[in-house]
Chain A
């Protein structure tokens, strides 16, 4: 025993290296374990505080762009408003309204940190558990899909950006109603890849891609992007479609966190099937 200890002591540089390297790899591999730990909450408080201050300074540089974006969305919403529709008071019309049950609620949040130059990019938001944010909520902005909430602390939350190797969003090509999966293959932060569209359907450049609504996270019909490049690898029965993201993921400021009120019910239903 003493010999072993003496040996370790003699080569302490190597063994300490091994220990720290293994520790790091465990942290990489067991990310979810770390995210649920107390330490993660503490580091989030520090990093969140610093990012809040910093984004308070840098946000002034993008005010013009941000105002433009909000104005555009206001216009869009005005179009849907009842005031914009013709009201005739002479006839009473019976309308069968199918929107009797609210499924999604939206919370506005500010991006305080964002990256687009890594293989796995994450976004930090200034809202957390206290504001009702939970894991697996969708994050969108007026232009389209942004990501999914993956970790929440008291006052902050981390969002997995679309620009991440773990991204998998159920999507469809609007015009054809064809289902596929959106992934990101790294590199260009402006373009993603749509897989699993069968090669027999005819796709055009410029077709729009939106969420399918089949996942319990994203509402249906949120824009993802427009088709740019279509190819079929030899021997494959599916397209590999490159498309341009509709949301500019490099200039995010305000985003909406989407809460699916039926999330629990949908998950439970699915669990029943798996248990069968």
Chain B
């Protein structure tokens, strides 16, 4: 049990560090701020209990928030994303059985499955993030641009990271 989640715990801290120390300082025209840290929520094992999924999503969001003085913002977006995760897994086509210790990554599920799954969840995450960030209806256009730009870059980064750290099944 502990060993199964060891990698996830390591990923938790690593992704927060990469997010707040490097990605948050990237600036392309002021619109792009990829949220690579959501990869943590994407890669949690299929069998994780619902409460653990929600709480760990809240914690990583809160962690990122503490570093950018945006209390609650990333937490809200991450929790929403975690809430949709079971639905997204179903939409992308759930594996028939969890036998053989399948993980929701490219290595086990294939590129097409992973892409659909990531697209749904990242869009949901970015939408809540930028909506709550602006908190004004007057800025709808601005929010949409940011959601699209943010999602595109986040998805590209997530897929690159997946390929970079992919471990072949034995």
Contacts and interface: CB of A to CB of B under 8 A. Distances in A.
A232 B21 CA distance: 41
Contacts of B70: 118, 120, 122
Contacts, number: 113
A26 B79 CA distance: 14
Given A31-B71, A46-B66, A117 B24 contact: yes
Contact of A17 (B32, B54, B65): B54
A188 interface: yes
Interface residues of B, number: 42
Chain A, interface size category, equals 35 or more
Interface in A161-190: 165, 185-189
A118 B33 CA distance: 7
B110 interface: no
A16 B75 contact: no
The 9 closest A-B pairs by CB, nearest first: A27-B72, A24-B76, A13-B50, A122-B69, A28-B72, A117-B33, A43-B66, A24-B72, A24-B75
30 contacts: A12-B51, A13-B50, A13-B86, A14-B83, A17-B54, A17-B82, A23-B58, A23-B72, A24-B58, A24-B61, A24-B72, A25-B72, A25-B132, A27-B65, A27-B71, A27-B72, A28-B132, A44-B66, A46-B66, A47-B67, A50-B67, A117-B24, A117-B32, A118-B70, A119-B130, A122-B70, A151-B69, A187-B29, A188-B29, A250-B27
